Amino acid sequence: MAQRNSSRRRQSNSENFMDYSLLFIVLFLLGFGLVMVYSTSSYEANLDYNNAAYYLKKQLFATILGLIAMLVVANIPYHFWERFAVIGYLVSVVLILLIIPFGHESHGAKRWLYIGPISLQPAEVAKLCMILFLASMICTMGKQIRYRKGFWMVLLVPMPIALMLWKITQNMSSAIIVVGIAVLMLFVSCPDYKRFILLGLAAVAGAAAVVFVIVQMAASQVDSLDFRGARILAWLDPEAYASGKGFQTIQALYAIGSGGVLGKGLGASMQKLGFLPEAQNDMIFSIICEELGLFGGFAVIIMFIMLIWRFMVIANNAPDLFGALLVVGVLGHIAIQVILNIAVVTNTIPNTGISLPFISYGGSSVMFLLIEIGLVLSVARGIRLKDL
């Protein structure tokens, strides 16, 4: 009897963990994102659709659907999704291939599929499914990933998806994110850090070689360069291409510089009035800096740092390796995307279309990001707290 009562006490003193800090940060970013989407898009929406809230309504609809999906996924044990890892990988391949005959073209690239009134970007599906597949694969392989064959097998698995995203959807940034997710998940699973140092050095050397070749080609025959080559040249000297590929970058820098420390005030941006292309999408961070100043920009960065910190806490305390890898995959996705977006806006890297998570306009992006947050919350619910 005493043993039974002791067992009941232990059960009553043990409860599931719910990360309300993570939930609050996500909700704050979503709310802030809706405010900034309206602020940056109202002028253009009023001109194009005679409705200043056009983009806001679409983003709000996607956000509500994403929150519902997040709550559903958060209340399903995360191991349930492990059985769909291979199916998810194959679905990603099929959706990307469907872009070829059925894709919707916008701004010179086919990246969207329309299912009735809803648009779907296969790249967002691929990121989520890649996290799930790699987590399952690494757990199945176990210690084999420490050997050369297993190590390279994990790195090669995302390559077909990345190549299809790059070539079929003309979306290099998503391809980089998919590969980056794989590298980070493998990094936390494999203790041999020398391989990652060599990979990093090889990547830097390869990027430097590409830039050198493009500069040499430009010195002789600029017309032979594709649009990516032109973007690299515009990155090196945006003022020389101010009327072309460097225009968006220069306008973004103007916005950041004119905002100063405290900004012009919410809604008072000048660059969003037809000067800065895609202000509500890829370049929304520049409008944040213009309206709210460097203070607002740093506040957003701090919120993302806090979000990543919560991911690390959950990953370190996850019940098993599969759960930890799911959280690391989501961490990698969001961290890489934030870094790339801010780097593009500040002209630290060449311009490539990539949104700021939870803040930029984009229905598919916010929906699948919230599904990923649901997975993280599901892992967090598996953590047991004991009152000792």
37: which 2 tokens?
A: 């989407």
Q: Is 106 helix (H, G, I), strand (E, B) or coil?
A: strand
Q: Please say if the pLDDT value at position 10 is more than 90.
A: no
Local confidence band at 382 (pLDDT 50, 70, 90 cut-offs): confident
What's the rounded mean pLDDT across residues 93-112?
83
Q: Is 225 helix (H, G, I), strand (E, B) or coil?
A: coil
316: which residues sit within 8 A by CB, 6+ positions away?
Answer: 324
Q: What percent of the chain shows pLDDT beyond 90?
A: 56
Phi, psi of 334 (to 5 degrees): -70, -45
- Split at pLDDT 50, 70, 90, the class of 320 is very high
Local confidence band at 5 (pLDDT 50, 70, 90 cut-offs): very low
Strand order in the sheet with 104-106: 104-106, 109-115, 118-120
The b/e string for 315-349 (b: 16+ C-beta within 10 A; e otherwise) is: bebbeeebbbbbbbbbbbbbbbbbebbbebbbbeb
What is the residue-wise DSSP string for 148-211? HHHHHHHHHTTHHHHHHHHHTS--HHHHHHHHHHHHHHHHHH---HHHHHHHHHHHHHHHHHHH
Report the candidate in 173, 340, 344 with the shortest Cα–Cα distance to residue 253. Answer: 344
> Inter-axis angle of helices 321-345 and 172-189, to 10 degrees?
140
Q: Is the pLDDT of residue 292 over 60?
A: yes
- Which burial class, exposed, middle or buried, applies to 75 when counting CB atoms under 10 A from its CB (0-12, 13-18, 19+)? exposed
Percent of the chain with pLDDT over 70: 91
Q: Is the pLDDT of residue 9 over 70?
A: no
pLDDT in tens, 147-196: 888 889 989 999 999 999 998 988 888 999 999 999 999 999 887 788 88
Higher pLDDT pick, 240 / 362 = 362
Is residue 350 over pLDDT 90?
Answer: no
Least confidently predicted of 2-11, 129-138, 208-217, 279-288: 2-11
Using a 10 angstrom Cβ sphere, with 0-12 exposed, 13-18 middle and 19 or more buried, the burial of residue 58 is middle
Segment 54-71 mean pLDDT: 95
pTM: 0.91
Quote the distance between the C-alpha of residue 158 and its chain's center.
Answer: 16
CB-count exposure of residue 304 (10 Å: 0-12, 13-18, 19+): buried
Confidence label for 224 from pLDDT (cuts 50, 70 and 90): low
pLDDT band at 225 (very low <50, low <70, confident <90, very high): low
pLDDT tens profile 111-157: 888 877 778 899 999 999 999 999 999 999 988 888 888 889 989 99
Residue 83, class by beta-carbon neighbours within 10 Å (0-12 exposed, 13-18 middle, 19+ buried)? exposed
Beta carbons of 363 and 59 less than 8 angstroms apart: yes
Q: What are the residue ranges spanned by the domains of the chain?
A: 26-75+232-383, 84-191, 194-225
Q: Are strands 109-115 and 118-120 parallel, antiparallel or unpaired?
A: antiparallel
pLDDT of residue 330: 97
Residue 303 CB neighbour total at 10 angstroms: 17
Instruction: Say what the pLDDT of residue 278 is.
Output: 79
How do residues 229-263 score in pLDDT, each as one tens digit? 777 887 888 887 777 788 888 999 999 999 999 99
Per-residue pLDDT, averaged over 90-100, amounts to: 93
Residues in the chain, total:
388
**Cα(13)–Cα(384) distance, rounded to whole angstroms?**
10
Mean pLDDT of the chain: 87
Q: What is the pLDDT of residues 22-56, one digit of tens each?
A: 999 999 999 999 999 999 999 999 998 999 999 99
Q: Please compute the mean of the pLDDT values over residues 358-377 and round it to a whole number.
A: 94
Number of other residues whose CB lies within 10 A of the CB of residue 94: 10
pLDDT at 338: 96
Of 105-109, 282-286, 337-341, minimum mean pLDDT range: 105-109
Mean pLDDT of 47-70: 94
Quote the pLDDT of residue 210.
82
pLDDT 10s digits, 145-158: 888 888 899 899 99
pLDDT at residue number 331:
96
The predicted structure's pLDDT at residue 120: 86
